[in-house]
Amino acid sequence: MSFWEDFWDIFWWLFCVYVFLAFLWALFAVIGDLFRDDKLSGWWKAVWILVLAFLPFLGLLVYVIARGKGMTERSMERARTNREASDTYIRGIATASPSEEISKATALRDSGTISADEFERIKSKALA
């Protein structure tokens, strides 16, 4: 009988693969959190790494129970900081300074592309 002939063997194999991948994801998330935490000393980081190396399931469970709330808070703070930096960068790239907008409008007015009324409207919008 082949492995692929029994549905429950396939189901069990897929379940074991899923559990293993979930364990690896959690392990890497914990290790990443360990090294991003500025408040934890290097010695405690080393102790946690040793515990995770020799007792991986138990160490992962204890870490999530003991430091899970802080892990979430650090993750949320990091996401907020990244979002603010991204928003600042986008605002800096997307909008020109008022003096740049007025100088562009002046060049358009001088070339005859826009009228004096349009120039005044752009100028007042840039200064607002």
Predicted TM-score (pTM) of the model is 0.62
Q: Dump pLDDT digits (tens) for 93-103.
A: 776 778 888 88
Number of H helices, E strands in the chain: 5, 0
Domain ranges in the chain are 3-95, 97-128
Using the 8-state DSSP alphabet, how is residue 112 labeled? T
Tell me the per-residue pLDDT of 52-80, one tens digit each, with 9 for 90 and over: 999 999 999 999 999 989 899 999 999 99
Which residue is listed with tokens 């358009």?
Answer: 108
d(CA 116, CA 118) in angstroms, rounded, equals 5
Spatial neighbors of 111 by CB under 8 A, at least 6 apart, are none
